[in-house]
Amino acid sequence: MSHSKILILDFGSQVTQLIARRVREAHVYCEIHPCDVTDEFVRNFNADGIILSGSHASVYEDETDTA
Protein backbone atom coordinates (compact mmCIF):
# COMPACT_ATOMS: atom_id res chain seq x y z
CA MET A 1 0.00 0.00 0.00
CA SER A 2 1.44 3.36 -1.04
CA HIS A 3 0.82 6.52 0.97
CA SER A 4 0.97 10.08 -0.30
CA LYS A 5 3.99 12.10 0.78
CA ILE A 6 4.12 15.91 0.70
CA LEU A 7 7.17 18.15 1.10
CA ILE A 8 6.48 21.62 2.52
CA LEU A 9 9.24 24.14 1.82
CA ASP A 10 9.11 26.99 4.33
CA PHE A 11 9.95 30.42 2.93
CA GLY A 12 9.07 32.13 6.21
CA SER A 13 5.29 31.93 6.31
CA GLN A 14 3.55 32.33 9.64
CA VAL A 15 1.04 29.62 8.70
CA THR A 16 3.38 26.79 7.66
CA GLN A 17 2.56 24.73 10.76
CA LEU A 18 -1.16 25.23 10.11
CA ILE A 19 -0.75 24.05 6.52
CA ALA A 20 1.07 20.93 7.74
CA ARG A 21 -1.64 20.23 10.30
CA ARG A 22 -4.35 20.47 7.64
CA VAL A 23 -2.43 18.12 5.34
CA ARG A 24 -2.01 15.62 8.20
CA GLU A 25 -5.71 15.89 9.09
CA ALA A 26 -6.33 14.63 5.55
CA HIS A 27 -4.24 11.56 6.51
CA VAL A 28 -1.36 12.58 4.25
CA TYR A 29 2.23 12.33 5.45
CA CYS A 30 4.16 15.60 5.22
CA GLU A 31 7.42 17.14 6.38
CA ILE A 32 8.40 20.80 6.72
CA HIS A 33 11.89 21.81 5.60
CA PRO A 34 13.57 25.19 5.08
CA CYS A 35 13.47 26.66 1.60
CA ASP A 36 17.24 26.37 1.16
CA VAL A 37 17.43 22.57 0.99
CA THR A 38 19.40 21.19 -1.95
CA ASP A 39 17.92 20.04 -5.23
CA GLU A 40 19.29 16.59 -4.41
CA PHE A 41 17.35 16.54 -1.13
CA VAL A 42 14.12 17.45 -2.92
CA ARG A 43 14.64 14.72 -5.53
CA ASN A 44 15.55 12.10 -2.92
CA PHE A 45 12.51 13.00 -0.80
CA ASN A 46 10.43 11.54 -3.62
CA ALA A 47 7.36 13.63 -2.81
CA ASP A 48 3.99 13.23 -4.46
CA GLY A 49 3.59 16.99 -4.09
CA ILE A 50 5.44 20.07 -2.91
CA ILE A 51 3.92 23.04 -1.10
CA LEU A 52 5.83 26.33 -1.19
CA SER A 53 4.83 28.19 1.97
CA GLY A 54 5.65 31.85 1.32
CA SER A 55 6.47 34.82 3.48
CA HIS A 56 5.39 38.42 3.76
CA ALA A 57 8.40 39.54 1.67
CA SER A 58 7.81 40.85 -1.82
CA VAL A 59 9.10 38.75 -4.69
CA TYR A 60 10.50 41.96 -6.13
CA GLU A 61 12.89 42.62 -3.21
CA ASP A 62 16.57 41.83 -3.76
CA GLU A 63 16.98 39.80 -0.54
CA THR A 64 13.93 37.57 -1.05
CA ASP A 65 14.39 33.78 -1.03
CA THR A 66 13.46 32.08 -4.29
CA ALA A 67 12.55 28.53 -5.19
Q: What angle (nearest 5°) sits at the alpha carbon of residue 39, between those of residues 38 and 43?
A: 120
Structural domains of the chain, with CATH: 5-53 (3.40.50)
Cα gap 5→48, rounded to integer Å: 5
Report the distance separating Cα 57 and Cα 41, nearest Å. Answer: 25
* pLDDT single digits (tens) 6-52: 999 999 889 999 999 999 999 999 999 999 999 999 999 999 999 99
Specify the higher pLDDT residue, 55 or 58: 55
Taking Cα atoms as reference points, which of 53, 55, 65 lies closest to residue 19? 53
